[in-house]
Structure 1
Amino acid sequence: MSQTLTTNQVSSPYAMYEKENKVALLPYEVLRVASQFVSKDESKYLITGIHLKVNKNEILIGSTDGHRMFYFQFPKDVLGFELKKDITIPGSIFKTQVKNATKVLITDDLITFQNVEIKISSVPYREIEGTYPNILQLIPDSFTNNFEGKEFTFNCDYIGQFCNQVKKLSSNKGITFNGNNPNTPFIISAKWDIKNPFEDLEGFEAKLNYLIMPIVNLNRNKK
């Protein structure tokens, strides 16, 4: 006679971690996307990680390589998602897609990929210590979107890498540009509606946000 085992009945190689303090429970897809935009330069150790920041009302998940920045903000303490402290975690853990994962449980030393039914896999990690750059101060407060007579040039690789992620999570595959002038950052945003756990959350529109600077054309500026 066959028997179905629950995850609690299966011996885990990570059993030593099971009584650790819970740090966060976060949406998997956002962390996966954020991992695509961390720095690969080990000399820039702090920004090889994904930064998780909590304030009074929101949680921010952000990453940057020093040239562009990804961020996603959402209300705290909804749908079971939570973050108990600011922390930076290694981006490399999320580079390879974990099939069927929808949530990520983070404790003091362990990152666990899970879905509604089971824990899929767990990976030990070490927090990246140090003061992460204040990425919130880089986000413009408002946009004029007055582009008449202006030209804006962007790195096609940077745009393409964000679009590759949008194609996986947005059904209409549209992106929106908001900006002011060639010397300030632009925000490229896309609606998240594929594998979106927030789709039924009233009053909240889930958007993937990508901050990028236009390329300065020195010859044009001399005219």
Structure 2
Amino acid sequence: MKLSCSQSELNNALQLVSRAVSNRPTHPVLANVLLAADEVTGKLRLTGFDLSLGIQTSISASIDSSGAITLPAKLFGEIVSKLSNDSPLVLTSDETSQQVELTSKSGTYQVRGMLSDDFPELPLVENGTSFKLNPLLLSNAIKSTLFASSTDDAKQLLTGVNLTFDGYGIESAATDGHRLAVLNLNNILSDSKEIDSSIKFEKFSITLPSKSLREVEKFLSTCDISHPINFFIDKGQVVFISVEDIITIRALEGSYPNYSQLLPDTFENELEFDRKEFISSLERIAVLADQHNNVIKVTTDGSANLIKISTDAQDIGTGYESLPVSYKGDSFQIAFNVRYLLDGLKVIDSNLIKLSCNSPTTPAIFSPINSDVNFTYLVMPIQIRN
């Protein structure tokens, strides 16, 4: 293999695919990135794969001879990132050698790798269901629910985000057992005309690992929104394809909990308030709440359109803030983990928020008002011991 390419393009490609390289590989070759040069296409293809998440991208290169090799992702990436971008980089290796010679304007480096035959093939979906999705909306769907997934590996299915497709839109949901975030996007398909209304579409769901989706969300945020993302799914494998990039994810096994049954049909109490003012009050109160148990109380007074947000950090201090609200219902007091509230409120894209609840021990629902986004955030209250 012999080729020359741009330092900046190679560096950017390495940064992208290295996100799929395991920090604790089960096999030494999984700590490497695969480089494959094709003189027919004039492309250098780079791949990172940890057996769950795979990322592949291609860059243009001047290729004298085709070939492939794997190189240590961290070491090779650090070397390339520090080289000058004033002139092209030249990569050379022979068929029998497990070593690449990297020549730049300032000097030459030799990096030992492993044979490409040892690198696992990236799983691709040949059949199954496919869509063209708007990358910006897909990124929002992931970002708006990802934070609510569990970090407890013992609850493996809850460490993912559940995506439900009905042929016209996507419902994205995540829960850790204490909170639930659900977002419905009916306009995420890049072109609804592509769906033939005469064809019966089978509704289906899939749960993808949050760790992998964080990388997808970062990737989507850099995509050109004028070019749709091709989305393929088959037999527990999901593939996202952009212009030059491929991301593949292995789904989590099992049936996701029926979270819709957690959402109450009616509410006795409803509060409407300014989202930014509420967040600001919570962040100030959180300074004290974080010192003890993160618990804050929201107290309403039926005679005044105000709520009191308070905390009592034992042996440290207390604090409260008042916030104007539009309120319907009886006087009550309800307690929450302040971090759960802030996580959810920060992803809601609306100036006005509604808090709906029935009692201090039943689920509370936060939702945007006068918004095109159909978002629901459920938080379980903390029981107050008087």
TM above 0.5, yes or no, is: yes
Q: 2:377 aligns with which of 204, 210, 213?
A: 210
8 Å contact from structure 2 (residues 149, 210) kept in 1: yes
Runs of 5+ consecutive residues of structure 1 not aligned to the other structure: 1-8, 194-204
Q: How do 1:91-130 residues align onto structure 2 when only pairs under 5 Å count?
A: 91-96=210-215, 97-98=218-219, 99-101=221-223, 105-108=231-234, 109-112=237-240, 114=242, 118=243, 121-130=245-254
* Per-residue deviation, residues 59-113 of structure 1 (Å, max 9, x unmatched): 4211001110000124489654788522111121222422234565242323316
Structure with higher strand content: 2
Cα separation, partners in 2 of 1:206 and 1:78, compared to 1, 3 Å? same
Q: 1:52 aligns with which of 149, 158, 163?
A: 163
Instruction: Mark the runs of 5 or more structure 2 residues left unpaired by the alignment.
Output: 1-40, 48-55, 57-121, 196-201, 270-327
Match of 1:44, as an amino acid? Answer: K
Q: 1:45-194 maps to which residues of 2 (within 5 A)? A: 45-54=156-165, 59-75=170-186, 79-80=190-191, 84-96=203-215, 97-98=218-219, 99-101=221-223, 105-108=231-234, 109-112=237-240, 114=242, 118=243, 121-145=245-269, 146-166=328-348, 170=349, 172-190=350-368
Q: What is the DSSP-based 3-state SS (H/G/I as helix, E as strand, rest coil) of the residue aligned with 1:132?
A: coil
Structure 1: distance between partners of 2:174 and 2:370: 18
Contact 2:352 2:370 in 1 (8 A): no
- Which one scores higher on RCO, CA 8 angstroms, separation ≥ 6? 1
Q: Distance in 2 between matches of 1:214 and 1:33?
A: 21
Report which stretch shifted further, 79-88 or 31-40: 79-88
Q: Distance in 1 between matches of 2:263 and 2:179?
A: 12
Q: CA deviation at 1:218?
A: 2.1
Matches within 5 A, 1:189-200: 189-190=367-368
What residue is the counterpart of 2:143 in the other structure? Answer: 32
Distance 1:34 1:113 in 2: 22
- How many angstroms apart in 2 are the aligned matches of 1:175 and 1:84? 31
Percent of aligned pairs sharing the same letter: 24
Other-structure match for 1:5? none
- Structure possessing the higher radius of gyration over alpha carbons: 2
Shift of 1:16: 6.4
SS in 2 for 1:112: strand
AA at the equivalent of 2:233: T
**Which residue of the partner structure matches residue 199 of structure 1?**
none
Using the size of structure 1 for normalisation, the TM-score is 0.70
C-alpha distance in structure 2 between counterparts of 1:189 and 1:212, whole Å: 11
* Inter-CA distance 190–218: structure 2 relative to 1 (3 Å threshold): same
**Aligned pairs, number:** 192
**Cα distance change of structure 1 residues 179 and 38 upon mapping to structure 2, 3 Å threshold:** same
Residues 1:46 and 1:183: Cα distance change in structure 2 (over 3 Å):
same
Which deviations, in whole Å up to 9, do the C-alpha atoms of 1:125-159 show, x marking residues without a partner? 21111121110100111222254221122211001
- In the alignment, is the contact (CA less than 8 A) between 1:35 and 1:92 conserved in 2? no
Q: 2:145 is aligned with what amino acid?
A: A
